[in-house]
Amino acid sequence: NAGVMQNPRHLVRRRGQEARLRCSPMKGHSHVYWYRQLPEEGLKFMVYLQKENIIDESGMPKERFSAEFPKEGPSILRIQQVVRGDSAAYFCASSALGQGIANIQYFGAGTRLSVL
Amino acid sequence: QQQVKQSPQSLIVQKGGISIINCAYENTAFDYFPWYQQFPGKGPALLIAIRPDVSEKKEGRFTISFNKSAKQFSLHIMDSQPGDSATYFCAAWVTGGGNKLTFGTGTQLKVEL
């Protein structure tokens, strides 16, 4: 049973380009979460999605950032017109349940985005 | 506003010693407190977790102590080993509160021989 798969592991973009980060949840999981980790900081929640629905995007920057989790395929975190401040590690997590104490989130290895 | 404060930022412990990492929270609605372990280049992995109706939980060499009145909880690693060298994050969650984990800023632990 493969874990949460994220790709690419490392992504380099120039300022103004677009970054697309992919996340395939664990088998059987239908809840996906994205977190951002800046250097020397903890992980910060960005967005929570279920298949075809955004449940909570309270941590997403209002501009340039979007996320989706289509019926088929991986979840995508998209950053348009990247700036140097977007350089960070982006982690995806998935869970089997949407609520309750047993809703353990399992994390992928992350995508490290570097903006030149 | 940092809702979960973690200390120390870094910690060096001798092999066989006890590593202690502390966290304090502000939001009294938090009702689940997991600890995550992260190795360089990897994602966080759940280590151990506790609910506020329990004052202590032990799993192997790892123990969480919880003080609800002080709104504090801590991770103790007994007989620390070099393989325990990693970054540790405390976190908190509100059941039914949108499923988002609020993380502390992390503690970089190094266990020396």
**H/E segment holding residue B4:** strand B4-7
Residue A90's closest chain B neighbor by CA? B43
Provide the shortest C-alpha distance from residue B14 to chain A (in Å): 24
Give per-residue pLDDT as tens, A27-71. Answer: 989 899 999 998 777 899 999 999 889 999 999 999 999 999 999
Q: Are B32 and B93 in contact (CB under 8 A)?
A: yes
Write the residue in B31, B42, B103 that is nearest to A43 by C-beta: B103
Q: What rounded mean pLDDT belongs to chain B?
A: 92
pLDDT the model gives residue A28:
87
Distance CA A114, CA B8 (A): 28
Give per-residue pLDDT as tens, B15-49. Answer: 999 999 999 999 988 988 999 999 998 899 999 99
pLDDT the model gives residue A102:
56
Give per-residue pLDDT as tens, A87-98. Answer: 999 999 999 876
pLDDT the model gives residue A23:
98
- Whether B98 and chain A come into contact, CB under 8 Å, resolves to yes
Distance CA B32, CA B44 (A): 17
Q: Of all residues in chain A, what percent carry a pLDDT higher than 70? A: 95
Distance CA B108, CA B13 (A): 11
Burial of A40 (0-12, 13-18, 19+ CB in 10 A): exposed
pLDDT band at B100 (very low <50, low <70, confident <90, very high): confident
Work out the average pLDDT over A100-105.
69
Does residue A21 carry a pLDDT above 70? yes
Q: What is the DSSP letter of A66?
A: E
- Residues of B with CB below 8 A from A31's CB? 99
Does residue B52 carry a pLDDT above 90? no
Task: Count other Cβ atoms within 10 Å, centred on residue A88.
Answer: 20
Which of B5, B50, B100, B108 to substitute to test the interface with A, most A CBs within 10 Å? B100
Q: Taking the CA atoms of A106, B39, B68 and B49 in sequence, report the sign of the dihedral they define.
A: positive
- Residues of B with CB below 8 A from A108's CB? 43
* Cβ <8 Å between A4 and B43: yes
- Whether A90 and chain B come into contact, CB under 8 Å, resolves to no
